[in-house]
Structures are given as C-alpha cells and as structure tokens.
Amino acid sequence: MRYTPAEFMATVIAREIGDGEMVAVGTLSPLPAMGAFLARETHAPRATIIILGSDDWFPLTGGSKEFHDLGQRGRFDLFFLSGAQIDQHGNINLTVIGTHQQPRVRLPGGAGSAVLYFMARRIILFRPEHTRRTFVPRVDFITSPGSSPPRIFRPGGPSKVITPLATLRFNQEKRRLELATLHPGVTLEEVEANTGFPLYPPSPVPTTPPPTPEELHVLRTRVRAEMERVYPAFARTAFLSATG
C-alpha cells in the first residue's frame, strides 16, 4: 500500500483524537487539520474541530481572543504545536535561532504556544522533517517549556511528537522525550542519526501501524475534498489519487 508522508502523518494524528473531544487547530497547521478531518470521518464523528481563522471551521465571533480564552480556560482536549527546534525536554523554539537581540535566524514567533502548551490537555508536536537541525539537545530560545515544576498551574503539556520517521512520547516522570514507535521501513539507527539527543528506545521498538485501506480511502475522498477547500495549496501535494 503506497501513501504520502502527509497521508501517513495525518493518519497517526487522527488516531490520537478521541470521539467527543474538542480539538483546536492553529493557523498554518494543515497536517493536524487533515488528521482531525480523518478522525471525524472515521472513529470520532462527535469531535468538535475549531480551526483558528478558518471561515468554515471557526464558529466563534470574538476573533482569536475568544479562541485563546477557550484555550486558557482549559477547554481544548487536544492542540497541535510545532517547533523549529524541539529538545529532549520537550521545550520548543518558534522564536529565534541564535540570540534574541541579533538572531542568526529570526523565526515568525511563538503565536499562542507559551500559554496553550500549558493549558490544552494534550499537545501533539508535529514536524514534517526529522533532522538534527530540529531535534537538538537544547533549544536556543524556550518559546514554551516542555514541563513545569509542580507549583506552577499546568493541567496540560506534550503528549507525543509525530515526524516522518517516528513517534516520540513524552515521559511525564522523567520529563523527557523518548522513542515510542518507528514508522514502517525506518530503522532505529536512522532515527538516532537524525536526533540530537538520546531516545531511550523500548526493546523491541514497535512499528507505527500504517494507514489501513479504509483510512486511505476516506483521506483521498472526503478529507481531500475538505482540504482542497480549506488548504488548497497544501492539498495539491498531500494525497495520492483515490485509486492509488
């Protein structure tokens, strides 16, 4: 069975979504939206999906303020973030590479991550590349920390990291990211070579279950139609044909 990296990652994301959950998707997050649409079309028809700034998936009238009010109240069961850098402690960097005053690379900025990473019940970090450039021992700038001391009010935090090579999970006790599953055809050595910190792999390492024919069919028909409306540019390369 052939599939694109986007189809694979969207499937992995979809399986993280429970029926009836409130799932919030930020701007510039077509992959999580694709996963959320797939979940709603399969096992989670009662999930509520809110996509920030979208015409059709944004039922709020109070701008992004109302969205972030919901987030700060802890109403989101699941939210998605990414990071130009992600480190072993789950810290994410969306701000600068180098120093803040004169960065080597100025990034767009953290948007809502410094609050939502604390307040959404679970956060999935998604990253369409798995390299040592992204997975660093220590981020240059902590846009949002992966964990907080017990005295800080923090009902939520990272649950998983999904990349084109593997799934990492956040070990709450040790406060670090660890390898959870390898995607089909990917070796442990390959992931270790592309990760800048120890992965503490389970033995043996389970394989991420690939998309089923049913999931791929739904992706390439109903999800594709929705993605073409909401994220037309992304949809052009995200799918194989419905018969492929």
Partner 1 sequence: MRTVMREKLCALQDLRKWVWSGMFLAVGGGPLRITPMALLREVLRSGVRDLDLLVTPTGGLGVDMLIGAGVARSVEFAQIVLDEFGMAPHFRRQAEAGRLRCKDHTCPALLSGLQAAAMGIPFIPVRGLIGSDYLRVRPEFKVVQDPYSGEEIVVVPPLAPDLALIHAIKGDRYGNLLLERTEDDQLLIRAAKRVVASVEELVEPEELRRSPEGVWVPSLYVDAIIPLPYGAHPTDCRGYYPIDEDHIREYLEASQSPEAFQEYLERYVYRAADHETYLEVIGSKATPA
Rounded to a whole number of angstroms, the minimum distance from the CB of residue 74 to partner 1 is 9
CA 156 – CA 175 distance, rounded (Å) = 13
Judged by beta carbon, residue 216 or residue 235, the one nearer partner 1 is 235
Name the residue type at position 78. Answer: L
Q: Does 128 bind partner 1 (CB under 8 A)?
A: no
Q: Which of residues 154-193 bind partner 1 (CB under 8 A)?
A: 154
Which H or E run contains 64?
A: helix 63-72
- Binding test (CB under 8 A) with partner 1, winner from 29, 85, 88, 113: 113
237 binds partner 1 (CB under 8 A): no
Residue 204 within binding range of partner 1, rule CB under 8 A:
no
Given the rule CB under 8 A, which of 5-13, 54-62, 182-190, 235-243 is the region that contacts partner 1?
54-62
Stretch that binds partner 1, among 1-9, 146-154, 179-187, 197-205 (CB under 8 A): 146-154
Distances in Å between the Cα of 146 and the Cα atoms of 12, 81, 99, 122, 125 are 21, 12, 20, 12, 11
Task: Tell me whether residue 19 or residue 69 sits nearer to partner 1 (CB atom).
Answer: 69
Structure tokens at 186: 């990917």
Rounded to whole angstroms, the Cα distance separating 158 from 156 reads 7
Shortest CB 38 distance to partner 1, Å: 21
Number of residues that bind partner 1 (CB under 8 A): 51
166, 130 in Cβ contact below 8 A? yes
Instruction: Give the nearer residue to partner 1 in terms of CB position, either 1 or 105.
Output: 105
Q: How far is the CB of 1 from partner 1 (least distance, A)?
A: 29
- DSSP letter at 207 equals B
Task: Select 124 or 230, whichever has its Cβ closest to partner 1.
Answer: 230
**Segment contacting partner 1 (CB under 8 A): 48-56, 162-170, 193-201, 211-219?**
48-56
Assess 22 for contact with partner 1 (CB under 8 A). no
Judge contact between 211 and 219, C-beta under 8 A. yes
Residues near partner 1 (CB under 8 A): 27-28, 53-55, 58, 60-65, 68-69, 71-72, 95-96, 100-106, 108-119, 141-145, 148-149, 151-154, 231, 233-234
